[in-house]
Structures are given as C-alpha cells and as structure tokens.
C-alpha cells in the first residue's frame, strides 16, 4: 500500500468550531501550497504559513495559484473557499461545508417552502433589527419600508459623525473605481461581510440560495443574513475609512483590512452562528454529526449500510 504523505485527515470533532475561527482571509497574487497542516502562502513579500483549521473562509482573488495539496488540506479542514474578483466585488465559486449534517438545510428548506413560516422567519429577521418594537403584525411591504428608513437613518448618522458627504448608494459591479470613495468603501466593506456571512451559512450546512427576504439568486440568503449586521459593522467601518483615506486609490484594500480588524475579536462570528441557528429553530445538539440515514415515509429514518430484506405480501 502506498504510504500517505503529510498529516492524516482530521476527524470532524477535531476541527475548530465555526464560532472559534478567524473570520476571513483575503489573498491575491500569491501561490498557495501545503506544509504539514498549514497553508503555505508565497507572494512577493515572502512566505507565511497559516493554520488551515483556524480560518472560516479564504477569499481568493486574482493571481492566486493553488496546488492540489493545498486544496486537499483546505477541504479536510472545513475551511470555506470563495473565489472572488478584484477587490472582492464578484463571487465566482465556493467550496463545501464544514458541517456534514443536513439538519440546518432541511429546516431551512421546510421554513422557506411554506408561506406562513417564511414570513415568520422574515419577521424574526426584522425583529432583530428593531428589538424595542413589535413587528409581528406588519406586512412584508411595511417591513421593507421600515428597514429602508432605518438604513437611510444609519447613513445620515454616519455622515454627520464622520463628516463624509453622503447622497445615495451607487456602485457599478463592473467598475469599482468609478464609485465615489464612500461608495467604494461601502462596496468593499459589504463584500467582506458577505464573505463572512457566506462562510457561516455554508459551514453550518445551510443553503446560501434559500432566502426569506431576498429570492431568485444563489446568494439570496447571504444577503438576508448580512443585512442583519451592516448597521453595526460594514457601514460604520466604510464611513470611517472614507473619512480617513478619502481619495486614496487603495481604499478598498484598506477597508477590507479594517473589516478584518472589526471581526478579529470573534464576537460577531459567534453571534452569527447563534443567530442562524435561532432563525432556523435548530439547537446545538448533534448539529455536527457525520451521519447518513435512509428516509422512510412510514417508519421514519432508518439505518444506512444495512442489507434489508424484500418486503413480502404478508408484511405489507
């Protein structure tokens, strides 16, 4: 038998939980390889090794070359991978989840497939943004209007606080540099938040495409989920960066670094994990079990890997 090279694949229980990991790492113009249980990153500044199991998501930008060995380690470590465009503006592809259980996905699919429960989850999301108000009787149209007013108010407050002129949110996904400094900063900040939101969603086994408010896009739920945190994270950071760097052509890069620093203490990551499970009505119990069962419409879940006997006429 051929001898395996490198560290053995870790068991799921040995990996760092999502809430305990570093939020995200953005890389561009670098070569990624594997050294033992670390991702080796080589760029013009030198070489650095990053423990794979301690990262939630790797955002790989233009000019990144990844070896098969590096991807093997990333996959074994449950690290989310998102291939993005320059400045993180576009998302092209992503990898698999850390959690091998489908409990969260099944709960999400059930909730989003029923109009009553879908509205209930959407209201729960809005309630998180208006903790001191009762939104249980509001329609989706009323909730959208209320949220729009809240976001406009946040923009105005940050504009007054940072002395950054604000008119409206505009951006061209095909031309990042065409935006004003504050809009460039907002785009970069929101993309970092989307990356973190995506990593939590897929790492826990939910679907980024099954949205409750947004719909019709493969990242609909990412937009739903990230909207819960923009007022506290990406919007303030973007205005701070616009105030500090203004016309700096690297404002996108500086904003991403500022978002990374804002995520660094891990409190937002832990909050996201808890919020997602609350929204889906799923507890921590056995949420990371690597278990496959067989579905039966009469008997419930049955064991996999058992050679079942043919059912006779007398058994029906």
Retrieve residue 25's tokens: 């790492």
Domain 17-94 in CATH 3.100.10.20? The answer is yes
Query: Which helix H or strand E contains 192, and what residues bound it?
Result: helix 181-203
What pLDDT is stored for residue 267 in this prediction?
Answer: 78
DSSP 86-127: GGG--EEEE---S----HHHHHHHHHHTSHHHHHHHHHHHHH
CATH 1.20.120.920 in the chain, residue ranges = 103-280
CB atoms within 10 A of CB 263: 22
Does position 299 have pLDDT exceeding 90, yes or no? no
For the chain, the farthest-separated pair of C-alpha atoms sits apart, in whole angstroms, at 81
Q: Mind listing the pLDDT tens digit for each residue in 250-262?
A: 898 899 889 988 8
Q: Mind listing the pLDDT tens digit for each residue in 161-185?
A: 999 999 988 877 777 777 889 999 9
Binding-site sequence positions: 147, 214, 227
The values of phi and psi at residue 58, to 5°, are -100, 125
Q: Mind listing the pLDDT tens digit for each residue in 114-169?
A: 999 999 999 999 999 988 888 888 899 999 999 999 999 999 999 999 999 999 88
The values of phi and psi at residue 271, to 5°, are -65, -40
User: Does residue 299 or residue 315 have the better pLDDT?
Assistant: 299
Q: How open is the CA angle 281-282-286, to the nearest 5 degrees?
A: 165
Retrieve residue 282's tokens: 């799923």
Retrieve residue 289's tokens: 């079990």
Does position 315 have pLDDT exceeding 70, yes or no? no
What pLDDT is stored for residue 52 in this prediction?
Answer: 76
In 3D, which of 32, 30, 39, 31 has the Cα closest to residue 6?
39
Binding-site sequence positions for Mn(2+): 147, 214, 227
Sign of CA dihedral 29, 34, 35, 36: positive
Q: Mind listing the pLDDT tens digit for each residue in 46-62?
A: 998 888 777 777 778 88
What pLDDT is stored for residue 308 in this prediction?
Answer: 61
Is this model's pTM higher than 0.75 or not? no
Calpha distance 306→304 (Å, rounded): 6
30-35 β-sheet, strand order:
46-51, 38-43, 30-35, 64-66
Calpha distance 288→291 (Å, rounded): 9
- Under CATH, which architecture does the 103-280 domain have? Up-down Bundle (1.20)
DSSP 8-20: PPPPGGGSPPGGG
CATH 3.100.10.20 in the chain, residue ranges = 17-94
What average pLDDT score do residues 13-21 get? 49
């Amino acid at each position: 038998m051929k001898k395996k090279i490198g560290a053995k694949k870790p068991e799921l229980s040995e990996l760092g939980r999502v809430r305990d990991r570093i939020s995200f790492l953005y890389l561009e113009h670098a070569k990624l390889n594997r050294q033992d249980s670390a991702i080796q990153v080589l760029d013009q500044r030198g070489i650095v090794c990053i423990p794979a199991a301690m990262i939630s998501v790797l955002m790989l930008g233009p000019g990144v070359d990844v070896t098969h060995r590096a991807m093997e380690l990333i996959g074994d470590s449950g690290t989310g991978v998102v291939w993005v465009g320059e400045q993180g503006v576009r998302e092209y592809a992503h990898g698999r989840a850390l959690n091998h259980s489908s409990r969260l996905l099944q709960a999400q699919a059930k909730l989003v497939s029923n109009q009553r429960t879908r509205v209930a989850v959407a209201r729960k999301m809005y309630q998180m943004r208006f903790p001191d108000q009762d939104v249980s009787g509001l329609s989706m149209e009323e909730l959208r209007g209320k949220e729009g007013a809240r976001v406009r108010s946040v923009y105005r407050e940050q504009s007054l606080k940072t002395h950054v002129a604000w008119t409206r949110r505009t951006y061209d996904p095909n031309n990042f540099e065409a935006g004003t400094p504050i809009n460039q900063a907002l785009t970069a900040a929101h993309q970092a938040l989307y990356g973190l939101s995506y990593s939590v969603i897929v790492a826990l086994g939910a679907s980024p495409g099954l949205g409750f408010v947004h719909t019709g896009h493969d990242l609909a739920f990412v937009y739903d989920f990230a909207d819960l945190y923009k007022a506290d994270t990406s919007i303030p950071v973007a205005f701070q960066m616009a105030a500090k760097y203004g016309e700096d052509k690297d404002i996108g890069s500086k904003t991403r670094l500022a978002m990374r620093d804002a995520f660094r203490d891990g409190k937002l990551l832990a909050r996201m994990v808890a919020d997602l499970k609350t929204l889906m009505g799923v507890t921590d119990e056995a949420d990371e079990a690597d278990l496959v069962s067989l579905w039966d419409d009469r008997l419930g879940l049955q064991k996999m890997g058992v050679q079942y006997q043919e059912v006779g006429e007398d058994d029906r």
